[in-house]
Amino acid sequence: MSFEKNPIETTNKSTSRAPAHLRKERLGITKIMLVALIAIVVLAVAAFGIETLLSFNKIHPGVSVAGIDVGGLTKEQARTKLDEILGESVRGAIIKAKPDAEAQQRLDAVAVTDSDDPEDNAGDSEQGTDAEGPAPVSTVATSWDIGYQEVGATIADQAMIEKAYAVGRGSVMEYFSERFRAWNQGIEFEAELTFDAGKLLALERTIGTAIGISMVNYGIDIDDQGIATVTEGHDGECVDSAVFEQKITEFFIAGNESSLIVPLKEDPVDISRKQAEEAAAFLTEGLSQPVTISYQDSSWELTASQLGSWIKVIVIPEGTSLPITDITGSYHDEIVINPTLGEVDSLEFTFIIDEDIAVPAIQAVMGDLGYGSAEDAWFDVSSGSPVIQGGTAGEGPNIRESIPLLEKILFEGQERSITLTQGIVEPKITKEAAEAMGIKELIVSYTLNYGYGGSSNREFNIERALSFLNNSLVAPGQVWDFHKIVGNASYANGFKGAGAIVGNKVVTEEGGGICNVATGVFNAAYEAGLPIIERTNHSLYMSNYPAGRDSAVSWPSPNLIFENDMHSYILVTATWNGYDMVISIWGTSEGRTVGSSNSAWSYWDTGSSITNYRTVYDKSGNVLREDTFRSTFRKQETPKPETPETPAPEPEPEPEPNPTPETPEPDPGTTNPDPGSGDPEQTGNDT
């Protein structure tokens, strides 16, 4: 039986399968693509592998720093290359920094104002006030040449090299992606510089001070009555540190010479007026009432004036307790340079009591009780050399322990009384402090006769004054003041009535005779080459004193004051035996020598005068100072008998002889001897 195929089926079968020759061709292309892909992968892996081997311990190719190719180099090779190219550029760069036009105009305006000062222009009057000429310009430095040394600029080669070396050495993804990018388009890092922070900050401050506007914070001042007031402040303008550093970095990298307009920014106050007003009111309230301190059976009141002088006003970052500096300092700058503070948005006031000021001040208020049984260090010079004695601690009031309680009273409103407890008290002068004074040797001694071994009121007063000045210390730069050391030589202070010069005659006065002591001290200071700040001669000439080298003292004036201009402390000592006093000055000798001479005497109807000249030389023979001491004396009246001295509060003059001045032969070359230069009316104690 015949069978006929369905034509539709035949057609479908023919479209569902490609012919054999086509199937063979497609299979060939697929194999080729697969082989090619495998080959590419193998080649890529091989290339990466080879590159990895070639780049072992080296920077991968395609990496550069500031346009300098460092690919294929070890770290050390890269460092050398960067230093040769980039380092040379930095070291050769000079940046000329100057203010912008606005700042320069402000500086020139200040110069114009200064040039209008009549005193400054006094010598230019002959030119005429309408003379034309160039406008005044600022004399303040307004241009700075900045080289790498001025700011300590160095290339940050280590940081840059580490970044370059890290390319392709991260994760697997980074390994392939970064290396491919380095091959394909390259990877470049910006150059980095480091600066000496101290030098850079100093330069910014120098420039800012010259062309900017100094910021002044509102502050607090406590007057001698314990009243706190606000001190004025204002915003300023300073160098914009971030922009400045960025700009000079760019210019150093570029090398050669370039100009920089110094970038400035607003420098706002850290402490506002409102903060200062609130703090001042708070302080004034805390000081408005005295504080009572008690110890054993005694008590003392600390006044607002005393308490206010011990307070230290400081500022802290708001919300912290970290002190920065005194209110009198530039705490804004402290914040800038203190890395432990970080960014500080605002500051606030806080107050403490300065123990180093308060403790000795309270001890002074308490007198001897303030130091308890502590013994001050002192210098025993009996052997001819200073030997430190004493300086031992003892038992007494524990004042330092009470300072926190005093702060609570003033700043937290606690009850205003303190009972001091017993504790260990250090002496006012410790052995260590005495050793640091530098009192090592005798500088000069001066001997002056003052008595006859008797017990007259005059000798008593002299020896009492000597006891007060014995072992007196003078710090470098400070003065020795007769009145501050000896005090008022009055009956109330234990002195007696004795002969003294009042005007141009001898009368009985309390403290009579102490001018002998002043004269002895003056001559010792004179021979030591120390500056004499104040000295007055007597109204009458005393022949027992060196001509032109006497010194009169009386309360409250005249006085005797000299200065210690040496590098060490000086110690002034006195010894006496009823006949002679010896005034000695001890310290560290600086090898000074003193030359002295007198003029000829000048005479006139009412008196006479003589001038003493002193020249002080250093150890090399250079002149340190030249001094002139002119003494003018009145003509002495004929002495009249005095009634016997009486130690009563209102004594009669003692019957001491009135010394008759020597009459030197007049200088033949002296004529018309200044009759109008007589001594002014003055009182001086002596004989």
Which H or E element spans position 501?
A: strand 497-502
Determine how many CB atoms are found less than 10 A away from the CB of residue 525.
Answer: 28
CB neighbours of 485 closer than 8 A, spacing ≥ 6?
468, 469, 472
> For residue 608, with 0-12 CB atoms within 10 Å meaning exposed, 13-18 middle and 19 or more buried, which class applies?
buried
User: Is residue 632 situated within a structural domain?
Assistant: yes
User: Is residue 314 situated within a structural domain?
Assistant: no
Expressed as residue numbers, the domain containing 576 is 437-657
31-64 burial: b if 16+ Cβ within 10 Å, else e: eeeeeeeeeeeeeeeeebeebeeebeebbbbbbb
Q: Which residues of the chain have pLDDT under 70?
A: 1-28, 39-56, 111-141, 172, 174-175, 319-346, 454, 503, 637-687
pLDDT at 657: 41
User: What backbone torsions phi and psi does residue 514 show, to the nearest 5 degrees?
Assistant: -70, -15
For residue 450 the two structure tokens come to: 């003052």
| Single-letter amino acid, residue 113 | T
User: Is residue 644 situated within a structural domain?
Assistant: yes
Q: What share of the chain is helix, strand, coil (3-state, %, to 5)?
A: 35, 25, 40
What is the spatial distance between Cα 170 and Cα 177, in angstroms, rounded to a whole number?
10
How many Cα atoms occupy the beta-carbon half-sphere of 649 within 13 Å? 2
Please state whether the peptide bond connecting residue 673 to the residue before it is cis, i.e. omega within 30 degrees of 0: no
DSSP secondary structure, 569-616, as one string: -EEEEEEE-SSEEEEEEEE-----EEEEEE---EEETTEEEEEEEEEE
Determine how many CB atoms are found less than 10 A away from the CB of residue 189.
Answer: 17
User: Is residue 497 situated within a structural domain?
Assistant: yes
For the chain, what's the residue count?
A: 687
What is the spatial distance between Cα 476 and Cα 675, in angstroms, rounded to a whole number?
42
Q: Which of 517, 616, 603 is nearest to 560 (CA)?
A: 517
pLDDT at 37: 73
User: Is residue 618 situated within a structural domain?
Assistant: yes
What is the spatial distance between Cα 563 and Cα 578, in angstroms, rounded to a whole number?
29
Which H or E element spans position 239?
A: strand 236-239
How many Cα atoms occupy the beta-carbon half-sphere of 453 within 13 Å? 0
633-649 burial: b if 16+ Cβ within 10 Å, else e: bbebeeeeebeebeeee
Which H or E element spans position 43?
A: helix 20-54
Question: Please, what is the angle between helix 273-286 and helix 399-412, to 10°?
Answer: 120
The answer to whether 476 and 566 are in contact (CB under 8 A) is yes
| Single-letter amino acid, residue 273 | R
For residue 290 the two structure tokens come to: 């005295």
The residue ranges of DSSP E strands in 107-195, in sequence order, are 144-146, 154-155, 187-189, 193-194
The answer to whether 409 and 387 are in contact (CB under 8 A) is no
User: Is residue 415 situated within a structural domain?
Assistant: no
The answer to whether 596 and 625 are in contact (CB under 8 A) is no
The answer to whether 502 and 637 are in contact (CB under 8 A) is no
Structural domains in the chain (count): 1
CA distances from 369 to 362, 398, 426, 604 (A): 10, 11, 13, 58
User: What backbone torsions phi and psi does residue 146 show, to the nearest 5 degrees?
Assistant: -110, 115
User: Is residue 232 situated within a structural domain?
Assistant: no
pLDDT at 5: 45
pLDDT at 42: 65
User: Is residue 515 situated within a structural domain?
Assistant: yes
Q: Which of 208, 204, 210, 203 is nearest to 111 (CA)?
A: 210
| Single-letter amino acid, residue 112 | V
